[in-house]
Amino acid sequence: MSTLRFHAIKESLNRKPLEIKEFKRRSEAFGANVFNQTSMRQYLTKSALNSITEAIEKGTKIDRVTADHISTGMKEWAVSKGATHYTHWFQPLTGSTAEKHDAFFETIGDGLSIEKFEGSQLVQQEPDASSFPNGGIRNTFEARGYTAWDPSSPAFVYGTTLCIPTVFVAYTGEALDYKTPLLRALQIVDNAAVAVCKYFDKNVKKVNASLGWEQEYFLIDSTLVASRPDIALTGRTLLGHSPAKGQQLDDHYFGTIPNRAMAYMRDLENECMLLGIPVKTRHNEVAPNQFELAPIFEEANLAVDHNSLLMDVMQKVAERHNFSVLLHEKPFAGVNGSGKHNNWSLGTDTGVNLLSPGKTPMSNLQFLTFFINTIKAVLKYEELLRASIASASNDHRLGANEAPPAIISIFIGEQLTKVLEELETVTKGKLSPKEKTDLKLNVVGKIPEILLDNTDRNRTSPFAFTGNKFEFRAVGSIANCANPMTVLNTIVAKQLIDFKVEVDKLIDGKGMKKDDAIFNVLREYIKTSKTILFEGNGYSEDWEKEAKKRGLSNNKTTPKALKVKISESTLELFENLGVMNKVESEARYEIEMEDYVMRIQIESRVIGDIARNHVVPTAVRYQNILIKNVTGLKTIYGDNFKEVAKEQLSLIEQISKHIEAINSLVTQMTEERKTCNTYIDIDKKADGYCNKVKPLFDKIRYNCDKLELLVDDELWPLTKYRELLFTK
Ligand code: ADP
Ligand code: MG
């Protein structure tokens, strides 16, 4: 083992789990660092509290005077929690979170100072926006960008900083972040769903989209990570031979959590409690050193903020434990990747989950309405949904023989398939009373309680109905959930709007009864939506062929998948609903394509560097040892040496072949990169990186991994897979 590797492994083996103090009761710690209802009641005047509550519930504006009251109360609370600074906390299009800290501290002359935080500082800030990606938005308009307070996501104290969730927009109002379009989409789906709910219950005034994410991640000792330039720079290994033992034995999934990892999780969960992130579940995942963390679901905007915050907190807590958190979708070849299932549903202010089959016939028709409309929306916009989760890192899962495939389909289970089949056969026009009763009763009878327990599932499906919610499983582990959530809620909103028009037409135009009209429209939807329903194995080749026949898209790479984002129909969809105008949509496309290019470019440089500067020199050193050995054998055995040194000679030759292959492939890759860099057009550039540069990674890796097997372990400089994955 090389000295570098030896020390890294020794260091990580010698680490002890940190002692973690538990709260007596988690419920008491929950939200302690959040400016929530409890702390607002304590620190705000009654009228300030009312106006903030109204802003949260109805989206009303908060006036200047009230903002001053709120900011003062918020500051007092934050200082009591040890905060010295405040920041507008936002999610620029980099995918991570951004913050710029300012002190509350202000001088007032005569050597005196006070703690101050004004309403205007709470409501709006102007961060130096020039270094955030903007996809040309700010070039065409104005350079300035503003952050503006989002009262619907509560402020929190993290460390010694009061963090205020904000949107980030250009001077002209165009969104420069992920949150703004999400908030708009949530508003649209609220309106559309409320309108449809009124068919069933006139009292419904608000519908919230909910999100419960499940975050998967790898936990690797930080010294081991530091010994791997590929992980350090790209978040994943670019080479490394698979270990003799991988996940074949499936002995990690739900197994005992190793002590150090357990200490990390408890520490992380404690932090989450204080920050009001309602984490609930933790367990080992399929791969060695892979874990999952899931919260209780929340309103989608808050859940997205919480996930973004969590990803940040995960890294910070990991530092204390000398761990690195790998959020990349595919850190290790040949080992399971990580995703972030997005569990999604719609719930009313009257407490009804619209995707819960429920117990009474009437609420079942409501369930069927939302269930079938979601299916139809996903069918119509499957390609857009696929695009919403496209990224260089997620390409390693989607379309690469890994869960789930790049083809979007929906799994609903046997029971609901039967229900739909039945519904499809109802009479066109007016339903007989018997039919109606039968149908409704059947629907109730056919959905067994067990389904609610999520036992009926197909792990290969990218979009599955799991009892009382849909689970979008194709989202990447490192992704910001805002992107897929914006698309999903927008397409469902659009579908619900169209549905209402159709139903009203039957009611008003044809004088049909409401229930008959709804059944009629739903029946037609079922007929046309079958193409998206698939219950079989999503990884099989047969499915690829079948999906093609059905006309479903299968965009395996990001550049291909993203194209639909700037198609006429997508641009119109977002523009007409007011979620994003053309400029905003096009900017996002550009940013995501740029991001793709940059990531592949960095990976290409890193793999080129490691292959040439680490692997080849090591192989040459080993080859020299062999040559010396052969020369020695020659002096002993004379002409007979070839017989005795057969193995060594063969090794020398194999090593030469791999070195030669690596050198020529790396040169070729560098040339391809240079060519791509001359392209101004982003589509051409991304296609070049995708189809010319990236395919060389595997070839280079193949030769490097072969050398790893040939070269003396003592010389090999890079920490090996078995050491990365099995050192505990
Ligand atoms: P797993 O997929 O790991 O087996 P589950 O299917 O039980 O786990 O999913 C759990 C996740 O689903 C949790 O994050 C939970 O909060 C979320 N969830 C449950 N109900 C809803 C809902 N109505 N809306 C959104 N998310 C929900
Ligand atoms: Mg799940």
The beta-strand segments (E) located in 33-139 are: 85-90, 98-103, 105-107, 113-115, 124-125
Of 677, 561, 599, the closest CA to residue 238 belongs to 599
H/E stretch holding 161? strand 161-170
* CA-proximal residue: ligand 1, atom 9 (nearest): 343
Euclidean distance between CA atoms 396 and 389, whole angstroms: 12
Ligand 1 mean position to 583 CA, how many Å? 35
DSSP 581-595: -HHHHHHHHHHHHHH
Instruction: Give this prediction's pTM.
Output: 0.94
Q: Whose CA is nearest to atom 5 of ligand 1?
A: 454
Ligand 1 pocket, Cβ-based, cut-off 6 angstroms: 210-212, 214, 294-297, 341, 343-345, 353, 454, 466, 468-469
Task: Sketch the domain layout of the chain as residue ranges.
Answer: 31-177, 186-580, 595-726
| Burial annotation 316-326 (CB, 10 A radius, 16+ → b, else e) | ebbeebbbbbb
Q: Ligand nearest 341 Cα, by number?
A: 2
Distance in Å, CA 382 to ligand 2 centroid: 20
Query: Which ligand does the CA of 463 lie closest to?
Result: 2
Instruction: Tell me how far the alpha carbon of residue 286 lies from the centroid of ligand 2, in angstroms.
Output: 13
Q: Which of 214, 342, 485 to mutate to test the pocket of ligand 1 (most atoms within 8 A of CB)?
A: 214
Bridge-partner residues for 299, per DSSP?
210
Closest CA to 156 of 310, 35, 279: 35
- Expressed in angstroms and rounded, the spacing between residue 343 Cα and the centre of ligand 1 is 5
- Which strand (E) or helix (H) includes residue 207? strand 207-221
What is the CB neighbour count within 10 angstroms for residue 6?
11
DSSP 8-state code for residue 553 = -
Atom of ligand 1 nearest to the CA of 295: 14
Which CATH superfamily is 31-177 part of? Answer: Glutamine synthetase, N-terminal domain (3.10.20.70)
Interatomic CA distance for residues 24 and 301, integer angstroms: 30
State pLDDT tens for residues 26-35: 888 999 999 9
Q: Tell me: pLDDT of 445 over 70.
A: no
Tell me the backbone φ, ψ of residue 389, rounded to 5 degrees.
-120, 15
CA of 479 to the centre of ligand 1 (A): 18
Question: If you measure from the C-alpha of residue 553 to the centroid of ligand 2, how many angstroms do you get, rounded to a whole number?
Answer: 24
Q: Tell me the per-residue pLDDT of 535-547, one tens digit each, with 9 for 90 and over.
A: 988 888 899 999 9
Residues 6+ apart with CB under 8 A from 376: 495, 525, 528, 529
114 pLDDT exceeds 80? yes
Question: Which CATH number, 1.20.120.1560, 3.40.50.300, 3.30.410.40, 3.40.50.970, labels domain 595-726?
Answer: 1.20.120.1560
AA letter at 151:
P
Q: Express each pLDDT in 477-525 by its tens digit.
A: 999 999 999 999 999 999 999 999 999 999 998 889 998 899 999 999 9
The two three-digit tokens of residue 259, written as one number: 């002590």
Question: Which residue's CA is the nearest one to ligand 1's atom 4?
Answer: 454
Contact 525, 373 (CB under 8 A): yes
Mutate to test the pocket of ligand 1, among 277, 292, 297, 473 (most ligand atoms within 8 A of CB): 297
Q: How far is the CA of 212 from the centre of ligand 1 (A)?
A: 5
Ligand 1 atom nearest to CA at 454: 6
Q: Coil, strand or helix: which one is 627? A: helix
In this structure, the residue with its CA closest to atom 23 of ligand 1 is: 345
d(CA 139, CA 143): 7
Position 137 pLDDT exceeds 70: no
Instruction: Dump pLDDT digits (tens) for 690-707.
Output: 999 999 999 999 999 999
| Average of per-residue pLDDT across 97-122 | 84
pLDDT at 184 (0 to 100): 96
CATH class (in words) of the domain with range 186-580: alpha beta
Alpha carbon distance 267, 322 (integer Å): 13
Q: Whose Cα sits closest to atom 7 in ligand 1?
A: 454
Q: Encode pLDDT of 6-41 as tens digits.
A: 888 888 888 888 888 888 888 889 999 999 999 999
Is a pLDDT exceeding 90 seen at residue 252?
no
